[in-house]
Amino acid sequence: MSEIRVENIIGETGTDAVKFTKGINATGIVTATSFSGSGANLTGIVAGLVGFKHVRNTNTTTLNTTSFTTIFSISYTPQDGANNNVYVFVSGQFEQDDNNGSPAYAKISCSGQHTNDILGSMQKVGTDYSEQSNSSICTFLRDTNMANNNAITYNFQARSDNSSSDWRPKTSLALTVIEVASGVDQT
């Protein structure tokens, strides 16, 4: 085996690229100003957004319950649940009325990979007053219980403190799941 020690390898014309028709094996760091090809076997690449799924609510049935009840759900299978960060975003509008002053609550419960509610998701989202036409919710939370690549279902649930209080979901309510590569700065 021979060894060639040079600082520069240039093509025959002085400007052409050098062709390695039989391939090249390199040990150590290889630096390039650009890359072409699929990149399928490259390692150490931080991908950023890994997964995304979105669903809008279609259920407009009025709720009159003091127990958390699922309005709509989204199922997601993570690409790398043990290492990546999975976020759940809920946004949209709902109505309350009956003028009994009862608060309403919403949360995101889970089934499948784990059954823990999304930490921080349970919150008071409004109080029942006469002719309260629209209230909004907007919450973006990380699922800190993700541990593997098994599927999980996120359930948007609501309840009131008084069973005579009407809680009406709107079709603007939506759930979005976003999976972000662990190496991406998320501060």
HSE-CB for 99 with a 13 A CA cutoff: 2
User: For residue 139, what are the domain limits?
Assistant: 49-180
How many structural domains comprise the chain?
A: 1
Q: Provide the β-strand partners of residue 96.
A: 132, 167
C-alpha angle 172/173/179, rounded to 5°? Answer: 120
The pLDDT score that the predictor gives to residue 97 is 74
Q: CB-based contacts of 185: which residues, under 8 Å, 6+ apart?
A: none
For residue 84, tell me if it sits in a domain.
yes
For residue 38, tell me if it sits in a domain.
no
Share of the chain above pLDDT 90, in %: 42
> Domain containing 55 — which CATH number?
2.60.120.1340
Model confidence pLDDT, tens digit, residues 9-44: 888 888 888 887 888 887 878 777 777 776 667 776
Residues 56, 49: Cα–Cα separation, whole Å: 21
For residue 34, tell me if it sits in a domain.
no
Q: Whole-model pTM?
A: 0.74
